[in-house]
C-alpha cells in the first residue's frame, strides 16, 4: 500500500481509526487468477465458513485449472459442494479462460468498466464477482464493491449511519482513487 493511499485514507475521520489500527494493507494480485476467480464463484451468496469448506474439498478433488475444470465430471464438482448452478458457472469461467487465454496481461489495457463488461458476459458472473476479480486478481486500486454484504456492514459501522447503497457509493467517492484499500479496511471493521 502506497504512502499516498495511507495518507489519503487517514484524512477521513471515520476511516482513520481503522487505518491506525491495521496499518498499511496489501492488495497484491493473486498468483493464479483462475483459481482466485473460482474462489469468488464459490463465495457467491454463502457464508465464509461454507465457502472455505467447499474450496478445500474442491481443491482436494480437482487441480483447479481451466483445462481440468472443463474436463471435470459435474458429479465430482457437486460432491465437492458446488451447487448445480455453480458447476455451470465454474465451467463457463473455465471455458472463457481457455478460449480467450485470460491472464493479467490480457486485461492490462482494459478499464475497470471494460473488465466488468467482459466478465459479466460469462454465465454466472455478476457485478460482485467481477469486482472481486478486479480487486483480488488484478489488484486494481479504486474498486468499491458495495454489492458485498461485508462492505455494507463495514460501511455502516464506520460511518455509524444506516445508508442506502447509493449513499454508500457517494460516501466512498471521498476515498478515490484508493477505494479498494478503503474496502480492505471496511472488511476489517466488523472482524471479531
Note the pLDDT tens digit of each residue in 135-153: 999 999 999 999 999 999 9
Burial of residue 61 (number of CB atoms within 10 Å: 0-12, 13-18, 19+): middle
pLDDT of residue 107: 97
- The reply to whether 127 and 158 lie within a common domain is no
pLDDT of residue 192: 52
Q: In terms of pTM, does the model score above 0.95?
A: no
- Looking up cell 471494460 gives 114
- The reply to whether 76 and 115 lie within a common domain is yes
pLDDT of residue 1: 75
Using CA atoms, how far apart are residues 113 and 12, in angstroms rounded to an integer? 26
CB atoms within 10 A of CB 137: 24
> Using one digit for the tens of pLDDT, what is the confidence trace for 83-99?
999 999 999 999 999 99
The range of the structural domain enclosing residue 178 comes to 3-27+144-189
Of the pLDDT bands very low, low, confident and very high (cuts 50, 70, 90), residue 105 is very high
> Using one digit for the tens of pLDDT, what is the confidence trace for 37-54?
999 999 998 888 999 999
Query: What's the alpha-carbon Rg for the chain, to the nearest Å?
Result: 17
Joined grid coordinates for residue 123: 454465465
- The reply to whether 65 and 130 lie within a common domain is yes
- The reply to whether 13 and 41 lie within a common domain is no
Amino acid at each position: 500500500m502506497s504512502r499516498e493511499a495511507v495518507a489519503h485514507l487517514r484524512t477521513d475521520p471515520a476511516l482513520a481509526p481503522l487505518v491506525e489500527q491495521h496499518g498499511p494493507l496489501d492488495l497484491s494480485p493473486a498468483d493464479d487468477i483462475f483459481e482466485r476467480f473460482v474462489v469468488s464463484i464459490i463465495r457467491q451468496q454463502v457464508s465464509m465458513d461454507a465457502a472455505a469448506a467447499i474450496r478445500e474439498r474442491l481443491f482436494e478433488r480437482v487441480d483447479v485449472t481451466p483445462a481440468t475444470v472443463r474436463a471435470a465430471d459435474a458429479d465430482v464438482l457437486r460432491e465437492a459442494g458446488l451447487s448445480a448452478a455453480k458447476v455451470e458457472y465454474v465451467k463457463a469461467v473455465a471455458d472463457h479462460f481457455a478460449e480467450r487465454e485470460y491472464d493479467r496481461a490480457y486485461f492490462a489495457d482494459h478499464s475497470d468498466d471494460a473488465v466488468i463488461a467482459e466478465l459479466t458476459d460469462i454465465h454466472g458472473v455478476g457485478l460482485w464477482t467481477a469486482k472481486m476479480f478486479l480487486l483480488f486478481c488484478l489488484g486494481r486500486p479504486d474498486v468499491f464493491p458495495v454489492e458485498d454484504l461485508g462492505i455494507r456492514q463495514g460501511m455502516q459501522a464506520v460511518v455509524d449511519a444506516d445508508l442506502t447503497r447509493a449513499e454508500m457509493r457517494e460516501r466512498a467517492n471521498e476515498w478515490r482513487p484508493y477505494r479498494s484499500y478503503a474496502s480492505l479496511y471496511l472488511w476489517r471493521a466488523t472482524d471479531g
